[in-house]
Structure 1
Amino acid sequence: MVATIGITFLGTASAQPSSTRNHSSLALRLDGDVWLFDCGEATQHQVQKSNVKMGKIQKIFITHTHGDHIFGLLPILASRLNGAGGMAEGADDPRAQNLVSNMATAEPIEIYGPYGTRAYVRTGLKYTHTHLGSPYVVHELRTAHDPPEDSCTLPLDPAEQPGRDLAAGADGTWRDVFASDALAVSAAPIWHSVPCVGYAVAERPVPGKMVPALYVPHLKRTGTPMSVLRQLQLGERVQLADGTVLEGPARRPGRKVVILGDTYDPSPIAALAEDADLLVHEATNAHLPGIDPDTKATDTYEIVEERAKSRGHSTPQMAGAFAKRIGAKRLVLNHFSARYAGNDDVNEEARNVMVAIRHLAEEQYGDGREVLCARDLMTIDVEPRK
């Protein structure tokens, strides 16, 4: 069971950053650990401004290899893994010896991404003469259209451990690309202008609500230690000395967080995303007549939607419709055009724009469900299910 699940948005811009929005990245906080989703330029600067600790980053999930989602990956690795530039490669160099020791003992940073992610990292480290002090590994999510061989002809970086090539299942998705006793991560392709994936992070079923009054009389009657309540809380079955069998409460579904990359149609992930507690969906473009001064007089909602789709992106209405389709409990809009300022907490004009964008999503989402517009360094907690 994970005690705390939360998200910190490190960058919420699309394509170009602005003075109020950094390139795409968000941090999923899982108790003490941090998983990054996308790593746009200057992500490490945003980490330093946030509640995210660099040393806690354990995994990095890349949705696609457009620069605004990956240009910050190498700097993050260099900072997180004690990298150095121009380090001598001789075996007698102390830092080289330290890497040898860490390769045998340290847990690697795990990177997940589509075909080409491994080549990007390996080539970038090679030609920037960056030498990492601890290991990393890249697992690639492969489709039937990807070449079977590695996309990089360079040998493994000295800090690189061999990664897995993860083949999609018969339904085109990647189930349990990571799995532990507490969490499982699955992925699916989503439609964009280049190969792109979305991720579903699902908490395992958690213990049900404990009602001690149902059990304590039986424990007292048979002289059973009260410590047995701990076993029952975990959903276990306990047989008492007189033969009475007590059943712990049935386990409840865990939380689910769905994080999408850029998309004009995320339909392939719908089954994995169903009943999400929190959906993060892009809303790059919106039609805001009378609110956004840059709105074209000839535009309509339909024209803006078609323009967004032609570039592989979504409008707030499209995000709201998908959130409704999968039964998401909360929707967070993300990946905004540079024309939409991210300082709506202090600027009235920006606030009016983001309120209008939120309302467009709510029109499709409906039922009074919560819609939020992400801004840089915003933090959201995902509460346990009742």
Structure 2
Amino acid sequence: MQEPSKRLPISSSSIGVTFLGTASAMPSSTRNHSALALRLGSDVWIFDCGEATQHQIQKSSVKMGKIEKVFITHTHGDHIFGLLPLLAGCLNGAGGTAEGVDDPRTQVNLKEPPLEIYGPLGTRAYLRNGLKFTHTLFGRPFVVHELRFPNDPETQDYTELPPHPAESPAGRNIPQIDGVWPEIYKDDVLSVSAAPILHSVPCVGYVIIEAPVPGKIDPRKYIPDIKRTKTPMSVMRTLQEGGSVELSDGTVLQGPPRRNGRKVVILGDTYDPSPIVPLALEADLLIHEATNAHLPGVDLATKDVDSFETVQERAISRGHSTPQMAGAFAKRIGAKRLILNHFSSRYPGDDDVNPFAKKIMDAIANLAAAEYGDTVLCARDLMSVELALPPQ
């Protein structure tokens, strides 16, 4: 595991998700390919990076310059084709200069903090080949960490190409431990763990956990003693953090106990995410795909020969889930909130302005809610949601 970095605590209202693309396989006029941005205070982490993600970011409130990490769930094109352009946008990438003209990007300072990329085997090879044969240069470094499955080679990268001039040599090949990848990243405020989830190709789900946060403080319990002993009011900062303060008369004040931070579970494509259950329990937010749904009487393209069972069988055969499967999994892990994502292009994404689209997406949400037992939200492109701290 890398050395912990310093990160400012995240305020109670500044963890959020912006959905940059919510389509499955083929984009549509109302849904782009898969990508979302996790907003963590002033920093941004991208999860999956389908085609035109960079363009979607430009349409959103997400700032390119704030992106510090990218997490890829699997290497299907609709989840990774936008990674090269995104890196070019973030790292001052271009095709170089004419012969005989110096370009400082040919000599990148690899000691600078790199933009970090996490993904399964093949992520590093995809980037090296794409950068090599497009002659792309970067002005800042990047590093690729690969999550290796048990049958993956320990050291090989699926390519004979050498590292790109901007690729940091600090990239790790991270082995599984007891079937998961615990704490592939950790600092004082956040940690990320991962687990395999079942799809048609090797696929990963990610769990982001915020470290315990200060409890709610009642100043009335402390101020009388602080004033009585003429102690500087600045000690309230220590108490707010859950620490203790000994006053001049020997009285010890103890701040409120810390409470759990937030947990976000972001799944890639899957027909069965069971391996991630131990990491995902009691998630504050679960983002789960719901590619296919049976919507008789709602979706005009519904086939007479189809049923809930046949649609589910077809979804599973292609490595995907239905809304009911997503709702059942959310209930299984005790998720406090469920957002559906990754919809077939037949389901329109303009349900905020199109009554017919709203009818379809409401029906999809209701199918999941019937299994989950609570309200379900269907994501659409450029939608943002905020995740507040759990109650005291």
Structure 1 and Structure 2 fold alike (TM over 0.5): yes
Q: What SS is found at the alignment partner of 1:119? A: helix
* Structure 1 residue 129 corresponds to structure 2 residue 135: yes
CA distance in 2, matches of 1:349, 1:151: 46
**Cross-structure match for 1:380:** 385
Query: 1:125-180 CA distances to partner (integer Å, 9 max, x unpaired)?
Result: 0011111111000000011110122222111100000201111102x111111111
- Residue 87 (structure 1) shift: 3.9
CA distance in 2, matches of 1:343, 1:46: 15
* Structure 1 residue 79 corresponds to structure 2 residue 86: no
Unaligned runs of 5+ in 1: none
CA distance in 2, matches of 1:11, 1:257: 18
Give the letter aligned to residue 250 of structure 2: G
CA distance in 2, matches of 1:86, 1:207: 49
Question: Are the equivalent residues in 2 in contact too, given 1:329–1:370 (CA < 8 A)?
Answer: no
* Structure 1 residue 238 corresponds to structure 2 residue 248: no
* Structure 1 residue 96 corresponds to structure 2 residue 105: yes
Alignment of 1:275-286 (within 5 A): 275-286=282-293
Residues 211, 66 of structure 1: CA spacing in aligned structure 2 closer, same or farther, 3 A cutoff? same
Q: What SS is found at the alignment partner of 1:320? A: helix
Query: 1:5-33 CA distances to partner (integer Å, 9 max, x unpaired)?
Result: 00000000000000000000000011111
Q: What SS is found at the alignment partner of 1:357? A: helix
**Cross-structure match for 2:5:** none
CA distance in 1, matches of 2:319, 2:24: 12
Question: Are the equivalent residues in 2 in contact too, given 1:27–1:34 (CA < 8 A)?
Answer: yes
* Structure 1 residue 34 corresponds to structure 2 residue 44: yes
Which residue of 11, 17, 42 maps to 1:7? 17
Give the letter aligned to residue 233 of structure 1: Q
Question: Are the equivalent residues in 1 in contact too, given 2:92–2:139 (CA < 8 A)?
Answer: yes
CA distance in 1, matches of 2:38, 2:358: 26
CA distance in 2, matches of 1:191, 1:33: 30
- Residue 205 (structure 1) shift: 0.3
Give the letter aligned to residue 177 of structure 2: G
Q: What SS is found at the alignment partner of 2:264? A: strand
CA distance in 1, matches of 2:173, 2:253: 46
**Cross-structure match for 1:62:** 72
Which residue of 61, 70, 95 maps to 1:51? 61
Instruction: Name whichever of 355-364 and 139-148 sits farther off.
Output: 139-148
Q: What SS is found at the alignment partner of 1:229? A: helix
Alignment of 1:86-235 (within 5 A): 86-87=96-97, 93-96=102-105, 99-100=107-108, 102-104=109-111, 106-148=112-154, 149-162=156-169, 163-170=171-178, 172-235=179-242
**Cross-structure match for 2:4:** none
**Cross-structure match for 2:6:** none
Which residue of 321, 338, 347 maps to 2:354? 347
- Residue 42 (structure 1) shift: 0.5
With normalisation by structure 2, the TM-score equals: 0.95
Residues 256, 247 of structure 1: CA spacing in aligned structure 2 closer, same or farther, 3 A cutoff? same
Q: What SS is found at the alignment partner of 2:314? A: helix
CA distance in 2, matches of 1:262, 1:59: 20
CA distance in 1, matches of 2:42, 2:232: 33
Query: 1:248-272 CA distances to partner (integer Å, 9 max, x unpaired)?
Result: 1100000011100000000111111
Give the letter aligned to residue 122 of structure 2: G
Give the letter aligned to residue 164 of structure 1: R
Question: Are the equivalent residues in 2 in contact too, given 1:9–1:376 (CA < 8 A)?
Answer: yes
CA distance in 1, matches of 2:103, 2:97: 10
CA distance in 2, matches of 1:341, 1:312: 22
CA distance in 1, matches of 2:98, 2:135: 10
- Residue 85 (structure 1) shift: 1.0
CA distance in 1, matches of 2:375, 2:253: 40
CA distance in 1, matches of 2:130, 2:99: 17
Question: Are the equivalent residues in 1 in contact too, given 2:96–2:103 (CA < 8 A)?
Answer: no
Q: What SS is found at the alignment partner of 2:89? A: helix
Question: Are the equivalent residues in 1 in contact too, given 2:97–2:103 (CA < 8 A)?
Answer: no
Question: Are the equivalent residues in 2 in contact too, given 1:11–1:22 (CA < 8 A)?
Answer: yes
CA distance in 1, matches of 2:10, 2:319: 35
With normalisation by structure 1, the TM-score equals: 0.96
**Cross-structure match for 2:312:** 305
CA distance in 2, matches of 1:89, 1:384: 55
- Residue 120 (structure 1) shift: 0.5
- Residue 86 (structure 1) shift: 4.2
Q: What SS is found at the alignment partner of 1:161? A: coil
CA distance in 1, matches of 2:235, 2:91: 44
Give the letter aligned to residue 132 of structure 2: K
**Cross-structure match for 2:322:** 315
Residues 228, 89 of structure 1: CA spacing in aligned structure 2 closer, same or farther, 3 A cutoff? farther
Question: Are the equivalent residues in 2 in contact too, given 1:87–1:131 (CA < 8 A)?
Answer: no
